[in-house]
Amino acid sequence: MPKQPCPTCGQNVAKRKVVFHRNMVTGLVKAMKNCAQRQSSQFRISDLDLTNSEYARMNDLVRFGLLFKTEAMGNGVYGLPYSRVDEFLSGEYSVAQYYWHDPLTGENEMSHDRLFVGQVPGVLELQREMGIKLTEYKS
């Protein structure tokens, strides 16, 4: 990606590619378990035992459509669309494989390439580590 000068500071910046990866799945599973336990569709990020990488990827999960956030919810509170997340984790729903984030405009350009949970690199090892069952992907 070619770099563009920032109109404010003049520093050269480039679009950033954000790829869907296994730490997003682990954070999503933790959020799903927390919401199911409390019988709620909202959670506080501080209530989850997240790694630094999982924590940093929560807003990416919003962009991939697997979490939602509104201003009325306040800082650190996210919503979980149960049916979509359940479909994703069971291999019935796919997400964009990646997106490009433009730091100058704040816009995101989603990939047309789709990814099922079973196609996420490292997800099979994740099943063993977390003691969960994710389906293989559907074609």
| pLDDT, greater one: 129 or 75 | 75
How many other CB atoms sit within 10 Å of the CB of residue 9? 7
Within 9-104, strands assigned E span 12-13, 16-19, 42-44, 77-79, 95-96, 98-101
Q: Does residue 84 surpass a pLDDT of 70?
A: yes
**pLDDT the model gives residue 12:** 72
**pLDDT tens, residue by residue, 34-58:** 998 999 999 999 999 999 999 999 9
Q: Does residue 117 surpass a pLDDT of 70?
A: yes
**pLDDT the model gives residue 91:** 86
Average pLDDT of the chain, as a whole number = 86
pTM above 0.75, yes or no: yes
